[in-house]
């Protein structure tokens, strides 16, 4: 758990219209925090929340600033000072250096193990729900391939197994496969992926690099579904679609499928 607690004396500002933040803004307003938002639909906000049309005005009046994650547009940083706490996720090194140099406090909740685990559960549910939507097959008794065995890969594999799918986990390094025998997964090394990839009905990619080559796409079964949740695409999706393969580069899943649950968790984590 993050070693930081925010109190009700703090005014809280939200800099984007992410649904997770919308629900969190409403929760905080109901808990009597002073809440300010920018770029959120007013019809879904609690009546006590103040809407600003200027980022500068919001940053001037709020002590706690929730910014988008991953944090890319940093133009608002010029309005922050040492009275602010910035909350975001996946804050890169250059931004961290700027924050440290200007004595601006920050919380990166994607560095928190509790949040990462919770996020992986929502991600797995959403990825598998999308596979169910796109595939002509049941998950049960299907052959599923999970590329990568980090936090999201593990949770996807575990959830698929509980849905009675035949699960194969594929990684670059064998040491990540230590617990796969406990869950009765099949395993595959990336070096052996090419001749085996046409054996699977549903493929989940969690690795942010080009893993599935065009040559691999050429030999896939035509009813194969690929759910790519990696930040950088694991295949050429346009080429796959031209070959009749159903694919989707599906990002930001928790914000799409379970924003209220994520907001509830963020409130417990931070406040």
- List, for residues 167-186, the tens digit of each pLDDT value: 999 998 876 777 888 888 99
Strands of the sheet containing 34-38, edge to edge, are 50-52, 34-38, 11-14, 64-66, 85-88, 105-108
Residue-averaged pLDDT of the chain: 90
What per-residue confidence (pLDDT) applies to 2?
46
Q: How far is CA 168 from CA 125, 156, 158, 189, 237, in A?
A: 18, 11, 11, 10, 22
What per-residue confidence (pLDDT) applies to 181?
80
What per-residue confidence (pLDDT) applies to 5?
55
Task: Please give the Cα distance from 140 to 163 (Å, whole number).
Answer: 6
What per-residue confidence (pLDDT) applies to 59?
94
**Residue 163 DSSP class:** T
**Residue 265 DSSP class:** H
What mean pLDDT comes out for the span 205-230? 96
Residue 209 has pLDDT above 50, yes or no: yes
Ranked by mean pLDDT, which of 15-29, 67-81, 96-110, 125-139 comes out on top? 125-139
What per-residue confidence (pLDDT) applies to 142?
96
pLDDT digits (tens, 9 = 90+) for 236-247: 999 999 999 999
What per-residue confidence (pLDDT) applies to 92?
86
| List of domains in the chain | 11-110 (3.40.50.720), 116-255 (3.40.50.720)
Residue 4 has pLDDT above 60, yes or no: no
pLDDT band at residue 3 under the 50/70/90 scheme: very low
What per-residue confidence (pLDDT) applies to 8?
60
Quick one: what percent of the chain has pLDDT higher than 90? 66
């Amino acid at each position: 758990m993050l070693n930081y607690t925010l109190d009700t004396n703090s005014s809280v500002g939200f800099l984007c219209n992410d649904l997770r933040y919308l629900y969190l803004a409403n929760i905080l307003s109901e808990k009597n925090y002073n809440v300010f938002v920018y770029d959120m639909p007013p019809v879904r906000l609690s009546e006590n929340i103040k809407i600003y049309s200027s980022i500068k005005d919001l940053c001037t009046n709020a002590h706690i600033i929730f910014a988008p994650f991953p944090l890319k547009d940093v133009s608002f940083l010029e309005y922050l000072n040492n009275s602010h706490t910035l909350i975001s996720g996946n804050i890169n090194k250059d931004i961290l250096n700027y924050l440290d140099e200007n004595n601006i406090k920050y919380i990166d909740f994607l560095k928190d193990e509790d949040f990462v685990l919770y996020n992986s559960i929502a991600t797995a549910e959403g990825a598998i729900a999308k596979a169910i939507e796109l595939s002509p097959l049941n998950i049960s008794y299907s052959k599923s391939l999970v590329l990568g065995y980090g936090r999201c890969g593990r949770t996807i594999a575990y959830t698929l197994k509980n849905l009675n799918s035949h699960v194969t986990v594929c990684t670059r390094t064998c040491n990540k496969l230590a617990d796969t025998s406990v869950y009765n997964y099949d395993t595959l090394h990336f070096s052996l992926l090419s001749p085996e990839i046409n054996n699977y009905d549903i493929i989940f990619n969690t690795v942010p690099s080009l893993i599935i080559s065009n040559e691999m796409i050429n030999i896939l079964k035509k009813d194969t579904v690929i759910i790519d949740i990696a930040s950088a695409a694991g295949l050429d999706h346009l080429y796959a679609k031209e070959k009749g393969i159903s694919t989707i580069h599906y990002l930001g899943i928790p914000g799409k499928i379970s924003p209220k649950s994520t907001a509830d968790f963020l409130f417990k984590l931070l406040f």
